[in-house]
């Protein structure tokens, strides 16, 4: 890069930062005013620790939901949890969640009524119950190790692709990945009723719970941490009944995601150093609306 004191730089003719005329300067020549327009950390967003913790809670929630779902599946696979018990508990939680969702003043798009919600739920339950025998035998020709590997990959894809910034409704990719993993795991259960109960549980955990949690975060900020903490503690306690070591790893992961990672983000923010200057792309600030009319 050239400078005013460079060899052969003329001093009689002033340099202008234009491209449409020929000047007696090298192409890479700039004068001392070049760095006067240097700006650092323009439009940088300053994060607050507890605000980041609140947002990171959604990531921990999805990890807790995956752990809780796998725990319920293991209990059903070992015949320690009956499908009727899971269905009754799911119905109870669905009614409580729907009532809370309505109490928080959820907006209804397109004039949707409670009758329409009931019809949608009935159609889903009817189709799921009817296709449960088919889903039960869907992966009979696939080895168990392959089914478990596919389920693990799909649950990982669900965690990676989940729209944490706007989780209501869940993204199609993340929801489809979670339901695909649920179908794979449910097909390894003893009977068709087990498959139906497991798929119904998957809908509650991966589709409806994120919507309710998002509504809590927007309408009842004081209740969001308590609900998130309750689900996290429940998932850790459920996993502890199967594997204390796995429960310890889950607890460490949840604490790291919720408390340690936001602390690192806030601490490292002081080292942010973005530079802006005349080398940036040009931005047109003129109002061009009259050309578009």
Domain ranges of the chain: 59-106+113-219+230-257
pTM of the model: 0.77
Instruction: Look at residue 182 and tell me whether its pLDDT is greater than 90.
Output: yes
The span from the CA of 216 to the CA of 104, in Å, is 8
Count Cα atoms within 13 angstroms, Cβ side, for 284.
4
Q: Tell me the pLDDT tens digit for each residue of 237-248.
A: 999 999 899 999
**Phi, then psi, of 171 in degrees rounded to 5:** -65, 150
Q: Tell me the pLDDT tens digit for each residue of 69-96.
A: 999 999 999 889 899 999 999 999 999 9
Query: Which of 137-141, 143-147, 158-162, 269-273 has the least mean pLDDT?
Result: 269-273
pLDDT at 280 (0 to 100): 59
Instruction: Look at residue 183 and tell me whether its pLDDT is greater than 50.
Output: yes
Nearest partner of 266 among 1, 55, 70, 100, judged by Cα: 55
pLDDT band at 290 (very low <50, low <70, confident <90, very high): low
The span from the CA of 73 to the CA of 238, in Å, is 11
Nearest partner of 194 among 40, 49, 72, judged by Cα: 72
Instruction: Look at residue 254 and tell me whether its pLDDT is greater than 60.
Output: yes
Average pLDDT score over residue span 139-167 = 89
Question: What is the distance, to the nearest Å, from the Cα of residue 199 to the centroid of all Cα atoms in its chain?
Answer: 21
Helices (H), 220-292: 223-240, 244-255, 261-268, 289-292
The span from the CA of 235 to the CA of 242, in Å, is 11
**Burial label, 77 (beta-carbon count in 10 A; 0-12, 13-18, 19+):** middle
pLDDT at 168 (0 to 100): 66
pLDDT at 8 (0 to 100): 47
pLDDT at 131 (0 to 100): 86
Q: Which residues 6+ apart lie within 8 Å of 238 measured at CB? A: 67, 68, 71, 72
């Amino acid at each position: 890069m050239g400078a005013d004191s460079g060899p052969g730089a003329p001093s009689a003719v002033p340099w202008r930062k234009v491209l449409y005329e020929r000047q007696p300067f090298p192409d890479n020549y700039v004068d001392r005013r070049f760095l006067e327009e240097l700006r650092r950390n323009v439009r940088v967003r300053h994060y607050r620790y507890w605000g980041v913790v609140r947002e990171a809670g959604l990531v921990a929630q999805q990890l807790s939901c995956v752990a809780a779902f796998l725990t319920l599946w293991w209990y059903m696979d070992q015949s320690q949890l009956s499908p009727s018990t899971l269905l009754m508990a799911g119905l109870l939680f669905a009614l409580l969640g729907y009532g809370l969702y309505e109490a928080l003043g959820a907006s209804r798009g397109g004039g949707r009524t409670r009758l329409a919600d009931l019809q949608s739920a009935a159609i889903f339950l009817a189709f799921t119950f009817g296709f449960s025998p088919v889903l039960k035998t869907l992966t009979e020709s696939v080895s168990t190790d392959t089914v478990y590997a596919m389920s693990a990959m799909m649950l990982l894809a669900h965690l990676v692709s989940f729209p944490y910034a706007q989780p209501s409704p869940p993204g199609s990719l993340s929801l489809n990945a979670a339901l695909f993993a649920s179908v794979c795991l449910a097909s390894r259960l003893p009977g068709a009723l087990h498959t139906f109960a497991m798929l119904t549980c998957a809908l509650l955990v991966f589709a409806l719970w994120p919507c309710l949690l998002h509504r809590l975060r927007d309408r009842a900020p004081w209740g969001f941490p308590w609900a998130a903490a309750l689900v996290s503690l429940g998932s850790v306690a459920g996993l502890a009944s199967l594997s204390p070591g796995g429960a310890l790893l889950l607890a460490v992961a949840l604490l790291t995601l919720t408390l340690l990672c936001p602390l690192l983000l806030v601490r490292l923010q002081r080292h942010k150093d973005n530079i802006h200057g005349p080398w940036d792309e040009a931005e047109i600030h003129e109002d061009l609306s009259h050309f578009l009319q």
